[in-house]
Amino acid sequence: MTVTPFLPLLALCLSAVSILLLRQPAIGWGLADAPGGRKQHQGTVPLTGGLGVFIGFLLVQPLQPAGVGELLPLYVGVLALVVCGVLDDARDMRSTLKLGVQLAVAALMVLWGQRTLEYLGSFPLLGAVHLGWLAVPVTIVAVAGLINAINMMDGVDGLAGGSALSVLGWLAFVAALQSQLMLLAVIVTLAAALVGFLLFNLRHPWRRKASVFMGDSGSMALGFAIAWFVVELSQSPRAVLSPVAYLWVVALPVMDTLSLMVRRILKGRSPFSADRNHLHHIFLRAGFTAGQTSMILMLLVAALGGIGVVLSLVGVPDVLLLASLLVVFLMHGLFVTRAWHTSKALRRLHKATLDGGAVRASSQIVRLRSRPLVGGGRRQAALIGLYLMAFSVGLNTRLALAGGALVVAAAVLAYPLFWRDVLRLKLFWLSLGLSLYLLLRGVTSGNFEPLDNAPLWWGLLAISGLASLPLAWWLAQCRLHWNWLVLTAMLGGGFTFMLDADWSLLERGRFSIPGAWGEAAHIGFMSSVGLVVMLAVLLAGLQRLGAGWRPAAQVVLAAMLTMPIMIVLMGTGYTTAWLAAAAGGAVYVVASTVLGRPQGYRLGRLGVGALLAVLLLGVVSHDWLLPNASPLVQRLVEPLQAIGLVLNGQFDQAQALHPGIVERVTLWDQAWEAFQAHWLLGSGQLVPPAEAGALTGYRDYASLLASVATGLGLIGLLGFAAVVVVPLKALVWASLHRHWHAIWGLGILSCGVTVLVFCLLAMPLYYPGAVGFIVLLIAAIQIATFQRDWTRQRQ
C-alpha cells in the first residue's frame, strides 16, 4: 500500500470549503457562540469548525486504498460523537449524558473494534505488565478520559486544534516507523482536515481573531480518534515504542484535565463544570495574547511528545520514562495550584520577551544599563539562540553552534550599542590578543588543521573568551531568563545522558561495565558540573527556607535532581569527575563565608546536613553500582599513595599500586621538559610527539594545562590566566556589592573550580559538549564585567 498526497490535500480542501459553507447556516441552527460570562471573545462566532473537519475527513475515507473495512468502528464512533457534539453546541446537553455517550463510544471501540489496552510495558520486579480481564474497563475509562482531555483544551483560539495536530504528527511518525501504512494514511488525512480548520481558527499575521470555533463536535471526535490511534499503535505486534511513551505524547492535555478535575472535586464542584482555571488561562492572565498562548502550549505538547518518542526509541526503560513523566506531572501541579505566583512570574517573563518592553531590575540584585535595552527581533533572536545553545550544548554540536551563531548575529546587528560596550572593555582586547596569538602560533607551527583534525586548537579558540562576549552581553540584559536557562541546560544534560547510555546493559544490572553510562569522560564532566549546580541551588534554598513557597519548591526540585545526577556520576567510575565535583562543592562551602556574608547566605546546620547526605548518597551509590570495585576511600587514596611513591623514586611499587598515575606523571614530566625547551612561545605542539615516547593509549598530556604550557608557552598561560582573572574580579565585585544574588556568584565560582580541576587532570576539549559548556560558563562570568562597566558609566 502506498500513501499519496492527493487524499490529504482533498481532505484539507473539503474541510475548508465545508467551514465556509456552514458559516451562515450555523447561526440559524443555533450553532454559534456569543460572548458573555467566562467567554471573552468578540462577536458571535460559528461553532461548526469541528463539523467541517470531520466532513472533510469522513468523505475521503472511502477513497483510501484499503477502503473503510477494518476501521468502520472508528468512523461510526467519530460520527456519533460529532452528532452528540452538534446537539451539545446547539442545546447544552447535561454533562452526565455526554459522558454516557463517550463511554458508549469507547465501549464500541473495545467490543466491536477489538482495540484494547492489553500491554502496559515492562517494569522492574513486575516484568511485562498485562491487564488481562481488566483491559476492557481500563480501555473504556482511558478513552473517555482522553476525549474529555482534548475537549477541555478547546479554550483559546487554535489551542485544541494545534495541540491535536502536534499529537497527530508524532503518531504519524510512529505509524511510518512501524510500517502501518493504512493507519498512517488515515492519520495524515485527519491532520490535513485539521489544518483546513486551523486556517480559520489559529491566529496569525493575516488573521487577528478566529472566524470559527471547533465546538464540542470536533474536540470530542478528535479525542476519540487520537485514543484509537494510540491504542492501535501501542498494541501492534510491530510496535517500536513502549506504551509509556504515548503518555508523553498526550501528557499536557491529560495533566491539565486531571489536575483541574481534582481541584474541582476538592472544592465540592462537578469535575465537568466550566471555569477559567486551565493552564492557558494562567498564561492569558499573565499578559500573553491568545495567539502566543496557543503557540507556546502547542510547542510544549510537541516537545513532550518528542521526548517520549525519542527516549523510547533509544531504549530508555519504562520505569524511567514513567518516573520522569511523574516529575513533569508534579511540576505541572505545582505550577497550576500556585497560579497567583506563577502568573506574576510569567508576567515578568512576558514583559522581558514577547512584550518588547524594558525590564526594571532591582538595585539589590542586578543593575542594568541606563539606556533602553535592545528589543524587537534582535532580542528575540538572541533569546532563541541562548535557549537553543543551553539545551543542545551536550546533545548536538550543530544545534549548539546554530544557537551561538544566532546570538552572535543578533549582537552584531545591535550596532552601535554592542560595539560601544565591547570596545570599552579591557577584557575584549585581552581575549582578542589571545585569540590572534593562538591563530598565529597554530598556523606558523603547521599544526592548525581543519576542524575535524584539530579539535584542541579550535577548542582553545572557543574558550579564549572572545566567542563568549556576545553571549555575556545579551545575558547581562536578560536576568529574568537566567533561572530558565539553567533549567534548560539541566534538561538538555539529562536528555544527553538518556541518549548516550546503553540501556540494554543498565536494565540487566551491568552497572560496572565501561560505557554502560555513556562515554565516561563526557558524561562524567557533564554530571559533575550538574551536581555542583544542583548543590548550589539546594544549599541556597535551604538558607532561605521560611521565606515563602519558592525556597521550599527549590529545595524539593534540587533534591530530586541531585539524587539521579549523583548516581550517574558514581556509575561512570571516573575518579577525575568525582574529584572535580568535590572541589566545586568545597569551594562553595568556603566561598559562602565571604561572598554570601553581605546577603546573609551562610551554610548553617541544614546546609551541613545536606552536604553530609549528598556524601552518604555518593558512598552508597558507589558500593551499589560498582560492587566489584575497590572501596571508594581506597580509590581516592591510592592515587595519592602512588604519587608519593613516584616522588620517592619507587616507580615499580607505584606502577603496581596505580598504573594510571604513573603514566600521567610520566606524561607531565614530558610536558615539563617540552616547556623548559620553549618556555616563552611554546613549541606549537599541544600533544606529545610520537618520537618523544608517548605512552600507549594517551593521545595528549592528560592535562589541558600541560598542553597549553607546552604548545603556547608562558605567553599562552598568562593570556588564559588574564581572561579568567579579569571577569572573576568583576564577579567578586558584583557579589560583594549586592548586584547579584549570592547564589549566582557562588554557583558560577564553584562550577569554574570544577572545570579548572578537569583542565588540570584531563583534556575536556576532545568533547564538544564540554567545550560548549565552558564557553557558556565563561560568558556567565563575563556578565559581571559588562555590568560593572555600565555601573561605572552611569556614575
Within-domain flag for 145: yes
What is the tens place of the pLDDT at every residue in 547-563?
777 778 888 888 888 88
What distance separates the 2 farthest-apart alpha carbons in the chain?
Answer: 99
Task: Calculate mean pLDDT across residues 515-543.
Answer: 86
What is the tens place of the pLDDT at every residue in 306-315?
889 988 888 8
The pLDDT value given to residue 546: 72
Are 718 and 784 in the same domain?
Answer: yes
Q: Is residue 151 a known part of a binding site?
A: yes
CA 128 to chain centroid: 30
- The H or E element spanning position 59 is helix 49-60
Residue 570 has pLDDT above 90, yes or no: no
Are 391 and 260 in the same domain?
Answer: no
Tell me if 150 sits within 8 A of 160, measured CB to CB: yes
Identify the top-confidence range among 520-534, 587-601, 696-710, 733-747.
Answer: 520-534
Tell me if 246 sits within 8 A of 230, measured CB to CB: yes
Q: Can you spell out the DSSP letters for 706-757?
A: HHHHHHHHHHHHHHHHHHHHHHHHHHHHHHHTTSS-HHHHHHHHHHHHHHHH
Residue 132 has pLDDT above 80, yes or no: yes
Within-domain flag for 510: yes
Higher pLDDT, 608 or 707: 707
Within-domain flag for 236: yes
Strands 119-123 and 127-130: antiparallel
Are 332 and 422 in the same domain?
Answer: no
Q: Residue 783: name the closest of 533, 477, 572, 543 by CA.
A: 477
Residue where one domain finishes, among candidates 301, 330, 348: 348
Rg of the chain in Å (alpha carbons): 30
Q: Residue 248: name the closest of 175, 174, 319, 324 by CA.
A: 324
What is the tens place of the pLDDT at every residue in 20-56?
888 878 776 767 766 545 555 455 778 888 889 999 9
The pLDDT value given to residue 202: 77
Q: Using CA atoms, how far apart are residues 571 and 523, in angstroms rounded to an integer?
A: 10
Within-domain flag for 668: no
Tell me if 646 sits within 8 A of 665, measured CB to CB: yes
Q: Is 114 left (phi over 0), alpha (psi -120 to 50) or beta?
A: left
Are 344 and 467 in the same domain?
Answer: no
> Domain total for the chain?
2
Within-domain flag for 512: yes
Tell me if 81 sits within 8 A of 105, measured CB to CB: yes
Mean pLDDT of the chain: 83
Are 302 and 180 in the same domain?
Answer: yes
Are 332 and 436 in the same domain?
Answer: no
Q: Using CA atoms, how far apart are residues 196 and 620, in angstroms rounded to an integer?
A: 57
Identify the top-confidence range among 72-86, 560-574, 602-616, 689-703.
Answer: 72-86
Q: Is residue 648 a known part of a binding site?
A: no
Are 290 and 168 in the same domain?
Answer: yes
The residues pairing with 33 across neighbouring beta strands, listed in sequence order, are 45
The pLDDT value given to residue 3: 63
What is the tens place of the pLDDT at every residue in 714-733?
999 999 999 999 999 888 88
Q: Looking at 267-281, 420-434, 564-578, 685-699, which range is the least confident one?
A: 685-699
Q: Using CA atoms, how far apart are residues 645 and 658, in angstroms rounded to an integer?
A: 10
The pLDDT value given to residue 166: 92
Residue where one domain finishes, among candidates 298, 329, 348: 348
The pLDDT value given to residue 607: 76
Sign of CA dihedral 434, 439, 442, 445: negative
What is the tens place of the pLDDT at every residue in 204-248?
655 677 778 888 888 899 999 999 999 999 998 888 899 999 999
Are 615 and 547 in the same domain?
Answer: yes
The pLDDT value given to residue 147: 92
Residue 374 DSSP label = P
Q: Residue 409: name the closest of 442, 380, 447, 430 by CA.
A: 380
Within-domain flag for 656: no
Residue 500 has pLDDT above 90, yes or no: no
The pLDDT value given to residue 790: 86
Residue 738 has pLDDT above 80, yes or no: no
Task: Calculate mean pLDDT across residues 176-204.
Answer: 87
Task: Calculate mean pLDDT across residues 157-168.
Answer: 88
Burial pattern 213-224, b for ≥16 Cβ within 10 A else e, equals: bbbbbbbbbbbb
Within-domain flag for 86: yes
Task: Calculate mean pLDDT across residues 259-270.
Answer: 78
CA 414 to chain centroid: 28
Q: Cell digits for 718?
A: 598568562
Residue where one domain finishes, among candidates 303, 331, 348: 348
What is the tens place of the pLDDT at every residue in 339-397?
767 777 777 766 666 654 433 333 344 444 434 467 778 888 999 999 999 999 888 88
Are 468 and 546 in the same domain?
Answer: yes
CA 411 to chain centroid: 24
The pLDDT value given to residue 222: 93
Within-domain flag for 327: yes
Q: Is 675 left (phi over 0), alpha (psi -120 to 50) or beta?
A: alpha
Helix (H, G, I), strand (E, B) or coil at 291: helix
Are 211 and 264 in the same domain?
Answer: yes
Residues spanned by the domain of 731 = 376-642+695-794
Residue 630 DSSP label = P
Residue 449 has pLDDT above 90, yes or no: no
Are 82 and 137 in the same domain?
Answer: yes
The pLDDT value given to residue 623: 77
Q: Looking at 105-119, 140-154, 492-506, 679-693, which range is the least confident one?
A: 679-693
Residue 450 has pLDDT above 70, yes or no: no
Are 612 and 533 in the same domain?
Answer: yes
Residue 694 has pLDDT above 80, yes or no: no
What is the tens place of the pLDDT at every residue in 323-335?
889 988 888 887 8
Residue 472 has pLDDT above 50, yes or no: yes
The pLDDT value given to residue 39: 52
